[in-house]
Each structure stands twice: as structure tokens, then as C-alpha cells.
């Protein structure tokens, strides 16, 4: 999985590097990946595994042109594309979160090297029930911006309002504020405490955010929301699949009934079939709850599928923003053009 966390242009760069090394040094490469599309350009042969068995072993061109196994066919078909027909997106409501002139800097490594402006003055608006995708190449500042806005990370300056009221800085947050926005991260297994059972992982936010609530009932409701059976409550994270673990992380985010979710690459580590199920889950939550989403992703096809609007970040600045379809069909900024080109190939 050497390219899992990377955007499409970087991914091509890394794969080209591996390819060059292979040719120059006569290396053999065994590439393990959950993403068929990303190995298509470099693998001579592909083995598809499922439930511990090889279901297909074929030269790359043959595998894509005429896949034998149903599972391979499903994997190829499930990959979101920039021209996949779009479902109707839910109605959006009133302005919810407004961020103005957000700035975050970090010291550059080394003595006297000054500071790096990771987020360099960004404005961002999200309405209730709206989903906004924050896309950009790796290192463009997406995660830093997302964390600054929801007060999970540092923020040097700028203001955030929630329904017109000031949203306090990290140190001044109350529990009522914390309840409003909950995060879901990329690596489901790493983001869950390995020693805790599913029940305790989901219950933990309740201790602080809803101590009066009926714990068992709220946990059961969150499990139903993410379509996990209650038998799983006594399991440890290591015994869950990636998709199940991500559902637990989503249940933990939902249990205190937030109004908005911050998704930071929440499907990037999952294979396309599981990712598609998680996307469906987010779509349902949006429809049923009017949840707002701030979805950080390097995947434009996913952004288009899930989000009303797309904002493109480059070197800490929003360089392009608009309706998801418009940004993808007529990208104006070179970074957006690069991302579109890379996702279309
Ligand atoms: P993205 O999520 O778009 O890949 P990040 O927000 O993680 O980008 O990073 C933006 C920039 O800020 C990068 O140059 C990164 O190296 C730098 N950065 C992020 N977090 C820190 C940190 N804690 N200390 C120093 N530099 C950081
Ligand atoms: Mg990031």
C-alpha cells in the first residue's frame, strides 16, 4: 500500500519512480494494494484475493478487458468515476458554519528557518445538510485546515461562527460546542484503541457529551445507524475488517448526535466495494439527519459523488470553489486540472 494516502498526481509520480527503478535495476516488484486502478499502470500481472484465496490470476490487460471472477468484475465496476451517474443530493438549509481568514503556521524544520504557512488565510462556509469537499494534493493543508476549523488542531488566527454565534477557540470550547462536530479519520483500525471493546469505544464520547442519556439505548441506536449487529459490541478492533472498524469509528462519531462530521480521507484505506458502502452510509445519514459533512479527500470522483460543493486547496489557499459538477467539468486552476486529469485516467 505504498500510495494509499496520496493524491492521484503524487500516486502516479511514486508509481513511475518504482517503475524506473524496476527497469534500471532489474527489480522484481510485489505490490500489495486495495486499489485496482492504482496498480493498473505498473503491474504486468495481477492476482485478486478474497477471503484468503486467489480468485483470479491474469495479465493486467486481460484482467481489465475480460475479468473472469465475479469479484474482479464487481471491483472494476464499483470504482467511482468522474462520469458515474449522480444520485439526487439532499436539500441544503441555513448557513451553519462560517470560517474567516483562517491561518495556521508551523515552524519549518531546522534552526532559524522561519515558519511554514500551512493554511494561509482561508474562508469557508457550510450550510446545514450541505456537504463540502476539501480536495487538493498531498501537503496542500487540507487536514490542518479541517482540524483548525473544528478546533481539533492549532489555529493562529481567524474566526469561526456556528449559526451566527462565535465558535470559541480550542481552549475555550464547551462540551455543547464539542458535541456539534465529530471527526472520522482515514485509518479505521489505528484510530480505535486496540485494548477497548467496541461497546466502550462507542460509549466513551457519551461520558462527556451526554452523561444523562440512556447509555445502552444510545449505543444500540448508533450500532443500528451504521448497520452493525449488536453481537459485535464485545469485539476488539483487531478482530474487525477495515469496513467494520470504520463503521465503529462512525458510530463513535454519531453517538452524541452531532450536526456535522469532519471526514478526513475516511474511505481512502478501504477497497472500492467497502468504500462504496461507506459512502452510501454517509448519503443516508445526510438524507435522514440533515447532517453536514466537511469531507477531506484527494479523490475527486468521491468528492463529486458525496458532496454538493468542492473547494480546492493549494499551498494553504483555496484556489477554486464551486458546485461539484462544475468544478470537475470545467476546472479553472492548474491544480484542479491536474487532479481531474489524474482521476480520469
Ligand atoms: P494535507 O492534509 O493536504 O496532505 P496537511 O494539512 O497535513 O496537508 O499539511 C500541510 C503542510 O503543513 C505540509 O507541508 C505539512 O508538512 C505541514 N504540517 C502539517 N502538520 C504539521 C506539524 N504538526 N508540524 C509541522 N508541519 C506540519
Ligand atoms: Mg491530510
**Distance separating alpha carbons of residues 248 and 222, to the nearest angstrom:** 9
Give the ligand with the smallest distance to the CA of 317. 1
**Other Cβ atoms within 10 Å of 304 Cβ, number:** 23
pLDDT at 345: 60
Rounded to the nearest whole angstrom, what is the distance from the C-alpha of residue 279 to the centroid of ligand 1? Answer: 26
* β-bridge pairing 317-323 and 157-162: unpaired
DSSP result, 211-226: TTS-HHHHHHHHHHHT
**Segment 63-114, tens digit of pLDDT:** 999 999 999 999 888 887 888 888 888 899 999 999 999 999 999 988 888 9
Rounded to the nearest whole angstrom, what is the distance from the C-alpha of residue 31 to the centroid of ligand 1? Answer: 27
Q: Is 121 a pocket residue for ligand 1 (Cβ < 6 Å)?
A: no
Q: Is 140 a pocket residue for ligand 1 (Cβ < 6 Å)?
A: yes
Rounded to the nearest whole angstrom, what is the distance from the C-alpha of residue 78 to the centroid of ligand 1? Answer: 31
Q: Which protein residues have a CB closer than 5 Å to ligand 2 (ion)? A: 143
Residue 166 phi/psi, 5° resolution? Answer: -60, 135
Mean pLDDT over each residue of the chain, to the nearest integer: 92
Distance, CA of 11 to chain centre: 16
**Distance separating alpha carbons of residues 342 and 69, to the nearest angstrom:** 28
pLDDT at 50: 92
CA dihedral 305, 7, 190, 80 (to 10 degrees): 30
Q: Is the dihedral of CA 188, 191, 193, 198 positive or negative?
A: negative
**Other Cβ atoms within 10 Å of 295 Cβ, number:** 26
* β-bridge pairing 181-184 and 260-264: parallel
pLDDT at 186: 86
Tens of each residue's pLDDT in the chain, 345 residues: 888 777 777 888 888 899 999 999 999 999 998 888 888 888 999 999 998 999 999 999 999 999 999 999 998 888 878 888 888 888 999 999 999 999 999 999 888 889 999 999 999 999 999 999 999 988 999 999 999 999 999 999 999 999 999 999 988 988 889 999 999 998 887 889 999 999 999 999 998 888 888 999 999 999 999 999 999 999 999 999 888 999 999 999 999 899 999 999 999 888 888 898 999 999 999 999 899 999 999 889 889 999 999 999 999 999 999 999 999 999 999 999 988 987 776
Q: Is 322 a pocket residue for ligand 1 (Cβ < 6 Å)?
A: no
Tell me the best of 139, 156, 316 to mutate to test the pocket of ligand 1, counting ligand atoms within 8 Å of each CB and taking the most. 139
pTM exceeds 0.85: yes
Amino acid at each position: 500500500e505504498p500510495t494509499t494516502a496520496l493524491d492521484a498526481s503524487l500516486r502516479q509520480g511514486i508509481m513511475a519512480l518504482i517503475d524506473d527503478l524496476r527497469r534500471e535495476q532489474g527489480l522484481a516488484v510485489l505490490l500489495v494494494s486495495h486499489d485496482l486502478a492504482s496498480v493498473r499502470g505498473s503491474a504486468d500481472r495481477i492476482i485478486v484475493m478474497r477471503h484468503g484465496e486467489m480468485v483470479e490470476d491474469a495479465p493486467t490487460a486481460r484482467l481489465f478487458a475480460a475479468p473472469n471472477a465475479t469479484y474482479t468484475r464487481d471491483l472494476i465496476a464499483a470504482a467511482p468515476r468522474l462520469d458515474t451517474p449522480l444520485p439526487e443530493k439532499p436539500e441544503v438549509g441555513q448557513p451553519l458554519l462560517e470560517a474567516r481568514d483562517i491561518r495556521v503556521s508551523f515552524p519549518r524544520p531546522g534552526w532559524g528557518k522561519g515558519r511554514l504557512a500551512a493554511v494561509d488565510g482561508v474562508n469557508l462556509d457550510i450550510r446545514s445538510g450541505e456537504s463540502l469537499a476539501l480536495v487538493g494534493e498531498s501537503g496542500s493543508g487540507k487536514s490542518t485546515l479541517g482540524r483548525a476549523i473544528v478546533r481539533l488542531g492549532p489555529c493562529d488566527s481567524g474566526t469561526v461562527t456556528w449559526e451566527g454565534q462565535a465558535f470559541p477557540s480550542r481552549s475555550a470550547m464547551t462540551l455543547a460546542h464539542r458535541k456539534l462536530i465529530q471527526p472520522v479519520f482515514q485509518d479505521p483500525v489505528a484510530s480505535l484503541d486496540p485494548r477497548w471493546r467496541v461497546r466502550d469505544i462507542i460509549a466513551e464520547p457519551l461520558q462527556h457529551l451526554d452523561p444523562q442519556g440512556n447509555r445502552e439505548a444510545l449505543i444500540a441506536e448508533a450500532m443500528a445507524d451504521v448497520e452493525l449487529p449488536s453481537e459485535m459490541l464485545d469485539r476488539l478492533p483487531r478482530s474487525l475488517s477495515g469496513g467494520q472498524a470504520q463503521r465503529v469509528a462512525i458510530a463513535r462519531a454519531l453517538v452524541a448526535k452531532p450536526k456535522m462530521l469532519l471526514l478526513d480521507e475516511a474511505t481512502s484505506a478501504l477497497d472500492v466495494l467497502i468504500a462504496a458502502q461507506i459512502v452510501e452510509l454517509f448519503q443516508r445519514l445526510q438524507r435522514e439527519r440533515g447532517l453536514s459533512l466537511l469531507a477531506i479527500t484527494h479523490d475527486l470522483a468521491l468528492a463529486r459523488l458525496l458532496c454538493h460543493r468542492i473547494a480546492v486547496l493549494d499551498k494553504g489557499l483555496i484556489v477554486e470553489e464551486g458546485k461539484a459538477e462544475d468544478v470537475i467539468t470545467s476546472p479553472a486552476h492548474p491544480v484542479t486540472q491536474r487532479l481531474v486529469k489524474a482521476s480520469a485516467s
